[in-house]
Amino acid sequence: MPAFNSANTILTSVHSVLAQTYSNLELIIVDDGSTDDTKLLVLSLADSRVRYHYQDNPGTGSAGSPRNLGLKHAAGEYIAFLDSDDIWMVNFLSTHIHIFMSLDSSVGLTFSGYHTFTSTPDLSASYAYRNPRLFRNNYYDLLITNFIPMPTVVIRASVLLTVGYFRTDLRGLEDWDLWLRVSQKYHIHRINQDLAYYRLSTNSMSADKYSYTLLEEHYLSTYFKLNPTLPASVRLISLTHSSIKLLKNGISQLPLARTITLMLQTLFYSLRSFPLSLLLLYSLIQLEIKKCISHRS
């Protein structure tokens, strides 16, 4: 659990871990240079399973750095990740461990659906990242979109020793990069249950969808340059989907020339592929629905 000035939320997150029905756990909290009462609150906890570590904030803005420090101190066979403002359901760990026990060692990572909330956990706000399943290959599908939510993941510790830890130069994208490395070597299993609560925050990186999509686009472009042997169909669909997302999330902020270029590029690529044509149609429908909702409100 990485934490930075998390005094307002961290105890709720911590208690959701300590209340797990699967109790054979250690909670490693890495304080990433907090200046509020985060440290005092954590050290006040009377539970021997809690381990507290502090590091000066390296200034990268990436949660990869505190997570990596936590991983270096982890002793368990399985690793899970929970930010200091998110919450697990009480059966989160027991469900994951039970699933792992029924699968063979080729499965390196499990994940689930979750509920979103702002201040109070709400069971009505259910959400699950959608795997596009265009290729029936998790690695290729992950190159289209990151469908694995961080607070719902459990991963074998041995897998991390094989594929490496988080990159610290990818603010907001370090989890996606790690899942891609995992999916190249191991199977990934989705649990069809909602097992966590993800807090929506206006201060988070992902809340600024336009800036976040720009980062995704740059990451994908660089990734394909570094991996030139990937199938052309994967490259085509991934970059086209990225262009569609950029248009949807930044239509009011993109320069006119950039907007026109993206629209022509998207249209050109979509006409070359039936799946892309469906993807474009679906995205345009979504965009129109958002406009209607915005107009009514």
Residues 119 and 12 both lie in one domain: yes
The residue among 102, 91, 101, 191 whose CA lies nearest residue 148 is: 191
The pLDDT value recorded for residue 186 is 97
Q: Which of 186, 206, 226 is the last residue of a domain?
A: 206
Q: Which of 180, 206, 232 is the last residue of a domain?
A: 206
Residues 143 and 259 both lie in one domain: no
Task: Take residue 192 and report the two structure tokens written for it.
Answer: 């069809």
The residue among 108, 183, 179 whose CA lies nearest residue 150 is: 179
Residues 67 and 182 both lie in one domain: yes
| DSSP for residue 173 | T
What is the number of structural domains in the chain? 2
Residues 180 and 134 both lie in one domain: yes
Per residue in 153-181, pLDDT tens? Answer: 999 999 999 999 999 998 889 999 999 99
Residues of the chain with pLDDT under 50: 285, 287-297
Which residues span the domain enclosing 287?
Answer: 208-296
Residues 105 and 139 both lie in one domain: yes
The pLDDT value recorded for residue 62 is 80
The pLDDT value recorded for residue 38 is 96
Residues 76 and 17 both lie in one domain: yes
The pLDDT value recorded for residue 229 is 94
Q: Which of 206, 239, 259 is the last residue of a domain?
A: 206
Q: What is the CATH number of the domain that holds 158?
A: 3.90.550.10
The pLDDT value recorded for residue 108 is 97
Q: How many helices (H) and strands (E) does the chain have?
A: 11, 9
The pLDDT value recorded for residue 295 is 40
SS3 state at 88: strand
Angle, to 10 degrees, between the axis of helix 232-250 and the axis of helix 256-271? 140
Helices (H), the chain: 10-18, 38-43, 64-73, 92-102, 138-142, 157-163, 174-185, 209-226, 232-250, 256-271, 274-296
The residue type found at 162 is T
Residues 125 and 243 both lie in one domain: no
Q: What is the DSSP string of 279-291?
A: HHHHHHHHHHHHH
Residues 60 and 193 both lie in one domain: yes
Residues 83 and 43 both lie in one domain: yes
Residues 189 and 217 both lie in one domain: no
Residues 105 and 242 both lie in one domain: no
Residues 77 and 64 both lie in one domain: yes
